[in-house]
């Protein structure tokens, strides 16, 4: 812990802790929704620890609850998690080797990648990735367990609005990067694509369509027009 404090600093560790706490709160929504959809209390907890990918887990539970087959739910979850392919290309040096690489790959998600790429230097990138990843590995299943208990006593868990925290957290993390013109252009184009297809695609898939905007990041910005 002392080494992390020296590498990252108190402010960044505080930000990581707040994000992990927010993820735990979202896990409460996930666990409650799973239980009210007919799953046993332990299912969201085990799935949260083994899958550790909120959007695909929400999608899996939603498809099963709507009467879909487990195979369809599994394939949909895998498709949503295809976004981890570019994630891996963005942070190839933070995962380590051997068993650490396996664990590091398991910890890969939106938050860990955003924190890693926002840092300067390999050491800070690696420390931010692992601090956030291990924090989420603890907070997400714990939140799901609390949500499973809550789901047994609250009939309409959707009224709590906890699922709105996930996009709010991601937006807060990427705001500093939007100062760069190329990043801002790419993000806005991706958001427009995702919004355009949201009425026609299942939850989780619009974010994959947004990846089509990535080539815009490589378009050169004229000198003097960086902001």
* DSSP state string for the chain: -HHHHHHH-HHHHHHHHHHHHHHHHHHHHHHHHHHHTT--THHHHHHHHHH--HHHHHHHHHHHHTT--HHHHHHHHHHHGGGHHHHHHH-TTSS-STHHHHHHHHT-SHHHHHHHHTSSSHHHHHHHHHHHHHHHHHHHHHHHHHHHHHHTT-S-GGGG-GGGHHHHHHHHHHGGGGGSHHHHHHHHHHHHHHHHHTTTS-TTSHHHHGGGGGGGGGSPPPTT---
pTM to 2 decimals? 0.72
pLDDT bucket at 4, cuts 50 / 70 / 90: low
pLDDT computed for residue 25 by the predictor: 85
Average pLDDT over residues 179-191: 83
pLDDT computed for residue 5 by the predictor: 66
pLDDT digits (tens, 9 = 90+) for 90-104: 887 888 788 888 899
Average pLDDT over residues 194-206: 80
pLDDT bucket at 142, cuts 50 / 70 / 90: very high
């Amino acid at each position: 812990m002392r080494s992390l404090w020296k590498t990252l600093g108190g402010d960044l560790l505080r930000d990581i802790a707040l994000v992990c706490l927010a993820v735990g709160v979202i896990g409460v929504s996930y666990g409650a929704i799973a239980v009210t959809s007919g799953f046993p209390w332990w299912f969201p907890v085990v799935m949260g620890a083994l899958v550790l990918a909120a959007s695909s887990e929400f999608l899996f539970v939603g498809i099963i609850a709507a009467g879909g087959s487990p195979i369809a739910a599994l394939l949909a979850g895998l498709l949503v998690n295809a976004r981890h392919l570019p994630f891996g290309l963005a942070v190839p040096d933070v995962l380590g080797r051997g068993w650490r690489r396996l664990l590091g790959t398991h910890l890969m998600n939106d938050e860990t990648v955003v924190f890693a790429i926002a840092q300067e230097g390999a050491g800070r990138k690696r420390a931010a990735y692992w601090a956030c990843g291990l924090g989420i590995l603890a907070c997400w299943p714990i939140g799901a367990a609390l949500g499973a208990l809550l789901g047994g006593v609250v009939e309409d868990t959707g009224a709590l609005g906890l699922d709105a925290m996930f996009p709010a957290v991601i937006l807060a993390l990427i705001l500093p990067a939007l100062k760069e013109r190329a990043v801002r252009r790419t993000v806005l184009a991706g958001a427009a694509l995702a919004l355009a297809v949201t009425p026609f695609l299942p939850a989780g898939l619009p974010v994959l369509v947004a990846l089509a905007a990535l080539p815009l990041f490589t378009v050169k910005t004229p000198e003097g027009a960086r902001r």
